[in-house]
Amino acid sequence: MQTKPFRIGTRGSPLALAQAHETRSRLMAAHGLPEDMFEIVVLSTKGDRITDRSLALIGGKGLFTEEIEAQLSSGELDFAVHSSKDMPTKLPEGLHLSAYLPREDIRDAFIGRTAQRLLDLPQGATVGSASLRRQALIRRLRPDINVIVFRGQVDTRLGKLAAGEADATLLAYAGLKRLGKLDVPTELLDPVSFPPAPAQGAICIESRVDDDRINGLLSAIDDRATRAAVSCERGFLATLDGSCRTPIAGYATVEGDHLQFRGMILTPDGSQFHEIETSGPADNAAKLGETAGQAIRAKAGAGFFESWG
């Protein structure tokens, strides 16, 4: 019988806290537990502290998880809640992604200050984004646009936009929805022409592989369709690179036992890109993603990847 609260690790941004609260609420409902049986432990990560440079320059995705995973491995935390797209494809020894919450909207939201739609921006407009994928996709559609680095929490980026530092920015629609900012987007971008980051819109929970008690607790809220889709996308990502240094997009959809996947890789300037589609059984999700990654790598040829160096 558990007598002390379960300790949930999270970053301290409003979005990270909203995700931790959603996880706590689902666990309370699934197990009939009171709120005081869960303690949300806020940790500062290197990725949160360094906001003046792109992730590609300071070390990639692990910067948002390192401190949290250290406490998870040591037993100071029982489990941790993350945005799935922030997770490196290789986790520390002894840790795994043990549950996924039902996925939110996968699309990117365009927030325009001088135009309502990306394609309506004036010639030479400035768009702020720290994501290499978004930067490449913007340049693919609008080579004339000047892209600058926008990092920081959602409100920080929106504040920079309001101050006139850019004509527009892009954010994940899932995050805006979780923060109740439904009135912020001026356009929702089509995932076919502007595909999302792998795992975008999905909340994952990380725990110790050998902690059967915690893994049993979390299994009650694991969403099978989200797990399959994200496993496919992470398989694609891992085969190609999986860091924040490369423009990679992709998303899977699951209907019943069937999975459909679309992936894209781009050069950073958006001038070249390759797409791939595949489908198969959802219980073979990770392998489908890996195979798609291998196929698109062969299709692009070695020269394509020189720009990723």
Looking at the annotation, which residues are catalytic? 86
Question: Contact, 251 vs 200, CB < 8 A?
Answer: yes
Name the DSSP class of 117.
S
Q: How far is CA 154 from CA 21, 66, 169, in A?
A: 18, 21, 11
In sequence order, which residues have a C-beta less than 8 Å from that of residue 7 and are 6 or more positions away? Answer: 39, 41, 76, 77, 78
Token reading at 209: 């592989």
The C-alpha atoms of residue 198 and residue 285 are separated, in whole angstroms, by 13
Strands 6-10 and 79-83: parallel
The C-alpha atoms of residue 141 and residue 104 are separated, in whole angstroms, by 25
3-state secondary structure 121-168: CCCCCEEECCCHHHHHHHHHHCCCCEEECCCCCHHHHHHHHHCCCCCE
Place of tokens 């992604």: 97
Q: What are phi and psi of 136, to 5 degrees?
A: -65, -40
